[in-house]
């Protein structure tokens, strides 16, 4: 029930000079800036900017650190892929009697045929490219998470400020109603309504403070801190992200990390299939050594060549598996492209709709609600309206301002989603 009394005179600050005169509905309403006011510098101690939050997250986020280490690990796999087979040294002793003993020392070297080493390096390099794309995609995810959490804190701060203003005006309205009750101009029930409205605002203010603390902790968690070391964020929620053409964003989507990751996975699977295809060609082992025959008293040179005969194992199973996984990667690429295009279109639509809502609220709804509240407040002071009508006007005004704040927050959340999909920062500017 108390939610009906929350918007207690948010715009009364703008109409205080005219409280003593009679309302004139036909007169043009005063020109008022309906953009939500930013927090004052005195409202918090240490303030955090968006650039500082992003820098801290890129520096300390554990998931991003893990992705960096994954790239370093895959770099090592590329190094290993270029390694050639080690030579093999063997010795053979025939007969234990010295007079008839034969001792053979032999060096064997496997020679990779069919371009296996080059195919192995190519597959490892594709894996490294995929890991780098994963790193960029993770960076984009963290960037979007920080931006969304940052503007969630900013929204909570603005909401807390609105409720603080409401509480001040509710207290003022309670005092004014008490005076009118003492003068016998209104019934005592009106003072009770005013006090109930004030209590409702106090409850909402406590909830807003708790929501702000939760939002601050969530922002600090994006860089691995369990508790925030900042008192507030420093930003202007009315600075809206730019709205480029959807065709421009779709063209940039093909360069996004997530889009590249799906494409690179197909290329990596193709490289793996090519490697399995080349492994069907058998390798050759070259041997060279010396044989000492004590019975005849001389050394003999040994030269050998060996090669497996691919009769039973032609690597057909591994090749078929690699080909099927390549087909799977292609299907996953198509699915990822559809998903990313859908996410981009959805976020763009929310951004576009949010801007339209903000324009309508600031140009039409908020001025009308403000004018209605001004008239109701003046009429109550002059005894023409009941306090219930003032509360109803306040409720409408507060709901309009709250709706504008939510629309602004939704705009920034949609922009953060676009950033995540594209992996870039949009520019910001006035509405």
Q: What is the pLDDT of residues 227-236, one digit of tens each?
A: 888 888 988 8
Q: What is the DSSP string of 99-145?
A: TT-EEEEEEEEEE--SSHHHHHHHHHHHHHHHHHHHHHHHHHHHHHH
Q: Using CA atoms, how far apart are residues 376 and 386, in angstroms rounded to an integer?
A: 9
Q: How many Å apart are CA 128 and CA 121, to the nearest integer? A: 10
- What rounded mean pLDDT belongs to the chain? 82
Q: How far apart are CA 271 and CA 120, in angstroms?
A: 8
pTM above 0.85, yes or no: no
Cross-strand bridge partners of residue 303 = 288
- Is residue 126 within 8 A of residue 271, CB to CB? The reply is yes
User: How many angstroms separate the CA atoms of 330 and 263, rounded?
Assistant: 8
Domains and CATH numbers, the chain: 2-20+27-85+116-267+359-429 (1.20.1600.10)
Pick from 136, 124, 126: which is nearest to 68 by CA?
Answer: 136
Between residues 32 and 398, the one the model is more confident about: 398
Q: Are 218 and 156 in contact (CB under 8 A)?
A: no
What's the confidence (pLDDT) of residue 41? 36
| CA atoms of 319 and 280, how far apart (whole Å) | 9
User: What would the mean pLDDT of 359-366 be, rounded to a whole number?
Assistant: 85
């Amino acid at each position: 029930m108390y939610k009906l009394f929350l918007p207690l005179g948010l715009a009364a600050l703008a109409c205080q000079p005219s409280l003593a005169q009679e309302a004139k509905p036909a007169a043009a309403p005063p020109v008022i800036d309906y953009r939500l006011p930013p927090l004052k510098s005195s409202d918090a101690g240490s303030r955090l900017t968006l650039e500082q939050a992003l820098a801290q997250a890129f520096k300390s986020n554990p998931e991003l650190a893990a992705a960096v280490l994954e790239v370093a690990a895959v770099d090592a796999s590329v190094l290993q892929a270029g390694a050639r087979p080690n030579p093999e040294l063997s010795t053979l002793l025939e007969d234990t009697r010295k007079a008839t003993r034969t001792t053979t020392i032999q060096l064997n070297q496997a020679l990779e045929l069919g371009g296996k080493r080059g195919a192995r390096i190519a597959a490892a390099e594709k894996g490294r490219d995929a890991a780098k794309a994963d790193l960029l995609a993770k960076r984009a995810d963290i960037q979007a998470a920080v931006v969304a959490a940052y503007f969630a804190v900013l929204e909570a701060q603005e909401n807390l400020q609105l409720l603080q203003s409401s509480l001040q005006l509710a207290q003022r309205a309670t005092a004014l109603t008490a005076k009118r009750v003492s003068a016998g101009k209104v019934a005592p029930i009106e003072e009770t309504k005013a006090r109930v409205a004030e209590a409702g605002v106090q409850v909402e203010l406590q909830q807003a403070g708790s929501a702000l603390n939760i939002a601050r902790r969530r922002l600090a968690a994006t860089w691995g801190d369990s508790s925030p070391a900042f008192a507030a964020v420093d930003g202007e929620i009315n600075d809206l992200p730019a709205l480029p053409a959807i065709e421009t964003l779709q063209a940039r989507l093909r360069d996004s990390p997530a889009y590249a990751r799906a494409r690179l996975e197909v290329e990596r699977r193709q490289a793996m299939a090519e490697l399995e295809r080349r492994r069907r060609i058998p390798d050759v082992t070259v041997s060279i050594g010396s044989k000492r025959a004590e019975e005849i008293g001389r050394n003999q040179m040994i030269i050998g060549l060996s090669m497996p005969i691919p009769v039973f194992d032609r690597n057909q199973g591994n090749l078929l598996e690699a080909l099927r996984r390549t087909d799977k990667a292609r299907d996953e690429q198509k699915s990822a492209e559809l998903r990313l295009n859908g996410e981009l279109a959805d976020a763009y639509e929310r951004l576009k709709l949010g801007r339209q809502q903000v324009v309508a609220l600031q140009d039409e709804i908020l001025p009308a609600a403000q004018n209605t509240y001004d008239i109701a407040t003046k009429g109550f002071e002059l005894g023409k309206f009941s306090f219930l009508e003032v509360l109803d006007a306040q409720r409408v005004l507060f709901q309009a301002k709250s709706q504008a704040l939510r629309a602004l927050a939704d705009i920034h959340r949609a922009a953060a989603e676009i950033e995540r999909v594209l992996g870039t920062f949009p520019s910001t500017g006035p509405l």
